Amino acid sequence: MFLIEVIRLAFRTLRSNPLRAVLTLLGISIGVGAVIALISIGSGVQRYVTDQFTSAGTNVITVTPGRMQRGFGGGAFAQPAQLTMSDWRAVANEVQGTSAMGVSFSRASSIIYTGKSSNVNINGVSPQVGAIQGWTIASGRFIDDADIASRSRVLVIGQSVAKDLFESGEDPIDQSVRVNGLPFRIVGTLVAKGASFIGDQDAIAFVPITTAQERLFGSQSQGTSGERTISTILLQANDDASRPAVQRDTTQILADKRKIEPGEPNDFTVLSQAELVNSFGLVLAALTTFLGAIAAISLLVGGVGIMNIMLVSVTERTREIGLRKAIGAKSGAILSQFLIEAIVLATLGGIVGVLIGVAGAALASRLAGIPADVQPASVILAVGFSTLVGLFFGLWPARRASRLSPIEALRFE
Amino acid sequence: MTTTTTLPDPVIDADLLTKTYKLGEHEVHALQGATLKIYPGDLLAIMGPSGSGKSTLMNILGCLDQATAGTYRLDGVDVENLKDDALAEIRNRKIGFVFQSFNLLRRTSALSNVEQPLIYSGLRSRERRERSASALRAVGLGDRLDHQANELSGGQQQRVAIARALVTDPAIILADEPTGNLDSKSGAEIMCLFQRLNEQKGITVIFVTHDQRIASHCRRIIRISDGKIVADEVNADQLKACIDV
Ligand SMILES: Nc1ncnc2c1ncn2[C@@H]1O[C@H](COP(=O)(O)OP(=O)(O)O)[C@@H](O)[C@H]1O
Ligand SMILES: [Mg+2]
C-alpha cells in the first residue's frame, strides 16, 4: 500500500516539472529506441535472408565446379574446372538418402516475342529441379522426361519474363517465342517468388537441359574432354539427419571419379543450403548484437543523466526531505520515494523509447526496403533494462536523501 | 487504584538534559541540565535570547535530536536510547510540528499536504482524506481543501500546517516562531486559533519564541539562558488572542 502511495507521489513530482522530466527521460528513450530499432532491423534482415535461402527448398545440397576460395560470399573459383554429365550420372547413380536430384546448365540470354525482349538466365534443367528450387507452376506444366529425351524446344517462364513479353490478360501458354534465333513454345508459367537480395528471382526461364546443351549453347557446353558440361548438381536430402551423409558421400563419389588424391584440394564445391543460412545468420546475429551493444551504451549515458537530475532534485528538495522526516518518514520511506522516482522516470523513458524504436524501424524499412521484425523479447528486455538503469543510477541520490539529518535538512536554504 | 492523584502524568518529563556540540577541539554546551515537566492541556512558551539553546531544546523535545545526557520521557515513552527509525515513528504518532516557514509541499493541495503524516502512519486513503478534511475544517479551511498550497495566503498556509500537525492527534504540538513570517493581523489569527484549539480540545502546545506577544498569550512561560532554565512561571495575566466572538 505504501508502495502505491510512493509511486503516486513520484508521478506527482514528475508532473510538477514536466519539461525536466521529459528531457531526462529522453536520454533513456533515445538509447532504448536505438536498441529496439537496430535489433528489429537486424533480425528482420536475418529472417528475410533465411527465408530467401529456404524458399529454394530446405535440405538442398548444391555441387558447383571449382573450389570456393573465400568463405562465404566471395565465391571466387581458383581454376576453371568443369563438371560434366558423367559426374552427374556418377552422383545420381551412387548417392543414397536423397528424395530428389537434378542437374542444370545455365546461360544468360534473351527471349524475343513480337519485337519485345526479356533478358534472363536460361536454365537447362532436368525435371526435378523445379521442385527442388521451390518453384510452383502457375499455369501449364514444367519440363518433363519426354522433353529431355527429345531435346524439345519448350520453355517455362517466370513472372517477370511473362510481364516483359505479354500484355496483362494475354495467355503466354502455347505462344511461340525465340531464344538465340530458335523458336520455342511456352508450356508453363511459374508463381512469382519476388525480389531478393540477389536480384529479381522471377527473371528466369527453364528449358530441357539437353536442349540447352545441344541446341542453344552447343559450343559453350562443349567440355575439354568432349563431354557436355553442367553448371550445378542439385540434391535434396531426405531430412536434416541425412544431409551430412549425402554431402559427405557426394564429395567422396566426385573425388573418386575425378581422381583427386587424398590431401589434394577438390576442384568442386559441395555446399548445403543449411550451412549457407547458418553462416549468414551468424554474421548477421553478431552484427545485430554489436550494434545493439553500441546502442546500449547510450542507455548508460541516459542513466547518468537520470542520476544527475536526481542529485539536483535531492538538493532542491532538502527541506521537503527534512519535513517528511519530521512528520515521521523513516529513512526507508525517503529512500524508496527517490528510488521509485528514478525508476518511474527510467521506465517511462524506456516505454517512450520502445515507441521511438518501433517507429524508427518502420521508417527505416519503409525508406530502405529492409524488413524489420520488432521482437517482443527485445521490447521487454529494453524496458526491463531501463528500469534497472533507473534503479542503479537512482540508488546513490536516494541514499543520500535518506541519510540527511532532519534538523540540517529543515534548516537548509 | 491510586487514590492520591492530584496531577495527571506529565506529557513531557525531561530531567537534566544536556547537549554538547563538538567543534574540533572546542566544545559548545548548548544545554546544561534543563529539567522540565509539561502537563497535558498546557499552553506554554519557551523564551530566551538568540543562542540560548531554544532550538536545541525544541529539537530534543521534538525527537529530531537526542540529548548528550539526561532522561526524556515523552507521553510515557523513554526516548533517549531510541534509534532513528523508532524516533521517526514517535514523531509521527506523538508530535505535531509547526514551523516559521510553514514547510508545505508546493503545487500540492491543502488536503494532500495534511494527509502526508498519515501516509507514514500507514492509514488507508479514505480514512486519510476524512481525517485531513476534518483537521482542515478545525482550522477554518473547510472550503479550501483542494486549493494548492502555494495559492493560499501566508495565514492560510500556516493554518494548513497546523492542520497537518493536528491530524495525527499528537500528544504535543511544537511551534517554532509560528507567526514570525506573518503580518500582525494573520499572526493574531493564528494565535487565536492556537488558543481555541487549546481551550476547546485540550491540545498541548509548546511555542519556542523570542516574541513577547506570543508569550503573553500563553498560560506558562519558561525562560532559558545559556542552556539553563532560569525561570518557569505561570502567566498571571494571559491575554485573549481572539478579539471577536
Ligand atoms: N549543530 C550545531 N553545531 C555546533 N553548535 C551548535 C549547533 N547547533 C547549535 N549550536 C550552538 O548551540 C548554542 C545554542 O543554539 P540554539 O539552540 O540554536 O539557540 P537558539 O535557538 O536559542 O538561538 C549556540 O551557541 C549555537 O551556536
Ligand atoms: Mg533558534
H helices within A166-238, ranges in order?
209-211
CA-based nearest residue to A184, from A152, A158, A213? A152
The distance of B31 to chain A (nearest Cα, Å) reads 17
For chain B, the domain total comes to: 1
pLDDT in tens, B51-81: 999 999 999 999 999 999 999 999 999 998 8
Task: List residues, by chain if needed, whose CB lies under 5 Å from ion ligand 2.
Answer: B 55
DSSP B157-201: HHHHHHHHHHTT--SEEEEESTTTTS-HHHHHHHHHHHHHHHHHH
Burial of A369 by CB count in 10 Å (0-12 exposed, 13-18 middle, 19+ buried)? exposed
pLDDT at A76: 47
What span, in angstroms and rounded, lies between the C-alpha atoms of B205 and B166? 11
**CATH code of the domain in which B168 resides:** 3.40.50.300
* Position B148 in a domain: yes
Going by alpha carbons, the residue nearest to atom 7 of ligand 1 is: B21
What is the chain A residue with the closest CA to B56? A407
* Position B75 in a domain: no
pLDDT at A16: 81
Are the beta carbons of B116 and A1 separated by less than 8 Å?
no
Q: What amino acid is encoded at A89 in this protein?
A: R
Provide the CB-side half-sphere exposure for A11 (13 A, CA). Answer: 6
* Position B188 in a domain: yes
Q: Residues of chain A whose pLDDT is less than 50? A: 70-79
Cβ(A121)–Cβ(A106) under 8 Å? yes
In angstroms, what is the span from residue B69 Cα to ligand 2's centroid?
Answer: 20
Residue B176: phi, psi to the nearest 5? -100, 105
pLDDT at A78: 45
The distance of B135 to chain A (nearest Cα, Å) reads 16
CB contacts under 8 A, B 54-73 vs A, are: 59, 62, 64-65
> Percentage of residues in chain B with pLDDT exceeding 90?
83
In angstroms, what is the span from residue B35 Cα to ligand 1's centroid?
Answer: 18
Beta bridge partners, A45, equal none
Chain A hits for B117, CB-CB cut-off 8 Å, are 327-328
Could you tell me the residue ranges of all domains in chain A? 2-52+280-411, 98-238
Q: Using CB atoms, pick whichever of A319, A327, A333 lies closest to residue B91.
A: A327
The order of strands in the sheet holding B26-38 is B26-38, B12-23, B69-74, B77-78
Q: Decide if B233 touches A, using CB distance below 8 A.
A: no
Q: What share of chain B is helix, strand, coil (3-state, %, to 5)?
A: 35, 25, 40
**Ligand 1, pocket residues at CB < 6 Å:** B 21, 23, 28, 30, 48, 50-56
Range of the domain at B165: 40-68+80-234
Are the beta carbons of A1 and B88 separated by less than 8 Å?
no
Is the ipTM value over 0.90, yes or no? yes
Chain A hits for B107, CB-CB cut-off 8 Å, are 16
Going by alpha carbons, the residue nearest to atom 27 of ligand 1 is: B51
Cβ(B179)–Cβ(B148) under 8 Å? no
What span, in angstroms and rounded, lies between the C-alpha atoms of A266 and A251? 9
CA-based nearest residue to A287, from A35, A39, A30, A75? A39
What span, in angstroms and rounded, lies between the C-alpha atoms of B218 and A97? 106
Q: What amino acid is encoded at B176 in this protein?
A: D
Q: How far apart are the first and last CA of chain B?
A: 42
CB contacts under 8 A, B 192-231 vs A, are: none
Cβ(B74)–Cβ(B12) under 8 Å? yes
Q: Decide if B86 touches A, using CB distance below 8 A.
A: no
The rounded mean pLDDT for chain B is: 92
pLDDT at A156: 95
Residue B183: phi, psi to the nearest 5? -70, 165
Q: Give the A:B interface size as CB pairs under 8 Å.
A: 58
What span, in angstroms and rounded, lies between the C-alpha atoms of A140 and A125? 17
What span, in angstroms and rounded, lies between the C-alpha atoms of A14 and A390? 14
Are the beta carbons of B120 and A330 separated by less than 8 Å?
yes
pLDDT in tens, B102-131: 999 988 999 999 999 999 999 999 999 999
3-state SS assignment for residue B9: coil
What span, in angstroms and rounded, lies between the C-alpha atoms of B59 and B67? 9
The distance of B63 to chain A (nearest Cα, Å) reads 9
pLDDT at A77: 46
pLDDT at A242: 86
Cβ(B14)–Cβ(B70) under 8 Å? yes
pLDDT in tens, A293-328: 887 788 888 888 888 888 998 999 999 999 999 999
In angstroms, what is the span from residue A179 Cα to ligand 1's centroid?
Answer: 107
3-state SS assignment for residue A197: coil
Residue A152 neighbours by CB under 8 Å, 6+ apart:
A146, A208, A211
The distance of B219 to chain A (nearest Cα, Å) reads 27
Q: Which three cell numbers stand for residue A59?
A: 535440405
* Position B226 in a domain: yes
